[in-house]
Structure 1
Amino acid sequence: MTGSTALVTGSTSGIGTAIAKELAQRGAHVLVCGRDAERGERVVGDLRGAGGRADFIPADLGGGAAAAKDLAARAQRVADRNVDILVNNAAVGIIAPTADMPESGFDAAIATNLAAPYYLVGALAPAMAETGKGAIVNIASMAGEFALPGMSVYGATKAALLFLTKSWAAEFGPRGVRVNAVTVGPTRTPGSAELGEALDALAAQAPAGRVADPAEIASAVVFLISGAASFVHGAALSVDGGRTAV
């Protein structure tokens, strides 16, 4: 991946940070993106300290289309070239019964989880296609494959992202851009910590019987980006401990 530029949204913590580290270790210039500048600069410092190349771009993708288009433009300016790798990882996980879902929560989930990836791909994939190469990985969830109480909005956005993965594979694949997804199961991150024992209970239902480490998700993402997955288009790689299989 040496010489490539990778934009990883939501990469100031958790899964996104793990992905950024893996890509930097493989020689990519990683554009770390998130809302928290302090955390972002800390991640960049860690990547550079390990010998990688990285820059932080502040962005709040809760702004939907406008925020995504602005991020795409700034990413190209910071890198001084086109983006070769896009990882749509940023997400808002609003958990609430349908009757209690606040409009602000619904709107935030649609903007961050669905509109932002859509418009980032629209802004960046055409340039990838012009060069005849590129890789996009969408971070989906097992919540987009089967129903979980209180996760109707989050699950709907992730189900839509899985469909978009296939649609973009059909649209951009013939021009050299591979688009795939990773469907994530229970993972130990700062964001999932608020679930407490419920996270472990959910993980216990899977054959693996445990919660994933972010590095395990990152390994799957790196595989889909790498040349080892050169014949993989439109796939949804389940990294959920086997939960959706059984």
Structure 2
Amino acid sequence: MGKLNGKIAVITGGAKGLGQAIALEFANEGATVIAGDLGELTYSHPNVHGKYLNVTDVLGVEKFYQSIVDEFGKIDILVNNAGITKDSMTRKMTDEQWNLVIDVNLKGVFNLTRLIGPHMQANGSGSIINISSVVGVFGNIGQANYAATKAGVIGLTMTWAKEFALKGANVRVNAIAPGYIMTDILKTVPQDLLDKFAALTMLNRLGQPEEIAKTALFLASDDASYITGQTINVNGGMRL
């Protein structure tokens, strides 16, 4: 028996990277996964359905949400994974860089959750998993916009854990704060820098997408039935 049999899971940014790893992990555990993204899926699985989603488009998000409810009748799991970076030192950061990262990483999380959270609350149960970052916990030079959004996601997590559990609803809301994970973005980074990143961790290595996916599976499943309002740091013991 899969841990997520019969569950309907929505994953934003599900076309590749962490979203792909989480989608496959959930699908292999029996969930029907709707992977929302601007681009098409870079993989295939019979339980994963790719669907266009721009998390910054309020009307588009509403249509995306309604189409899933119409087709599947419910949403049991939401993973807010979609995110971007537009790095710059604060003194050089443009309004465009600031606003775009805020719109995708923070407002985009709000746009979908304000629909799915109350839906879960009305149904009496659900699990929401927000992907934050080690940068949201510790901050990082040249990433003021990204750090602000990922710290904001942690604040939303604690707030929503309170809000969506009102009236006895068994809706759990948690965050995962990954460290440096070997996604396609890091594969373009020179090896000497990757070695530096690895040396910042107590385990002396970088993380794999599957390690984030397994953490998400735990939080989505009944194994985490008494865990809510928490941020799980999955960073190898990173020291910034």
What is the TM-score normalised by the length of structure 2?
A: 0.91
What SS does structure 2 have at the residue aligned with 1:209?
Answer: coil
Q: How does 1:198-209 map to 2 (within 5 A)?
A: 198-209=193-204
Partner of 1:29: 32
Which AA in structure 1 matches 2:68? Answer: A
Alignment partners' CA distance in 1, 2:84 and 2:186: 11
Measured at CA, do residues 104 and 66 of structure 1 come closer, stay the same or move farther in structure 2, by a change above 3 Å?
Answer: farther
Worse overlay, 168-177 or 94-103: 94-103
In angstroms, what is the RMSD of aligned CA positions?
A: 1.7
Residue in 2 that maps onto 1:70: 63
Task: Note if 1:119 corresponds to 2:117.
Answer: no
SS at match of 2:35: strand
- Quote the offset at 1:207 in angstroms: 0.2
Distance 2:190 2:132 in 1: 21
Judging changes above 3 Å, is the alpha-carbon distance between structure 1 residues 201 and 69 closer, same or farther for their aligned structure 2 residues?
farther
Q: Alignment partner for residue 161 of structure 2, among 157, 163, 169?
A: 169
**Structure 1 residue 192: Cα displacement:** 3.0
Taking a change above 3 Å as real, the CA distance of residues 195 and 153 of structure 1, as seen in their structure-2 partners, is farther
For the Cα contact (< 8 Å) 2:35–2:49, is it kept in 1? yes
- After TM superposition, the score normalised by the length of structure 1 is 0.89
> What 5-or-longer segments of structure 1 have no aligned partner?
none
The residue correspondences of 1:122-137 to structure 2 (distance < 5 A) are 122-137=114-129
Shift of the alpha carbon at 1:195?
A: 4.0
Alignment of 1:86-105 (within 5 A): 86-105=78-97
Is the alpha carbon distance of 1:200 and 1:112 closer, same or farther for their aligned partners in structure 2, counting shifts above 3 Å? farther
Partner residue in 2 for 1:47: 45
Partner of 2:8: 5
CA deviation after TM superposition for structure 1 residue 199, in Å? 4.1
Cα displacement string for residues 24-76 of structure 1 (whole angstroms, at most 9, x for unaligned residues): 01111100111112xx1x42xx212xxxx221111222x25444333322332
Q: Secondary structure at the match of 1:145?
A: helix
Distance in 2 between residues matched to 1:160 and 1:128, nearest whole Å: 22
Q: Output the amino acid matched with 2:128.
A: I
Q: What displacement does 1:125 show?
A: 1.2
The answer as to 2:185 corresponding to 1:191 is yes
What is the SS of the residue equivalent to 2:164?
Answer: helix
Change (3 A) 1:239 1:225: same
Alpha-carbon shift at residue 116 of structure 1 (Å): 1.1
Higher helix share: 1
Cα distance in structure 2, aligned partners of 1:169 and 1:234: 5
| Cα deviation, residue 102, structure 1 | 2.7
Cα deviation code 1:168-221 (max 9, x no counterpart): 001112411100010100001113334434344223211011111100010001
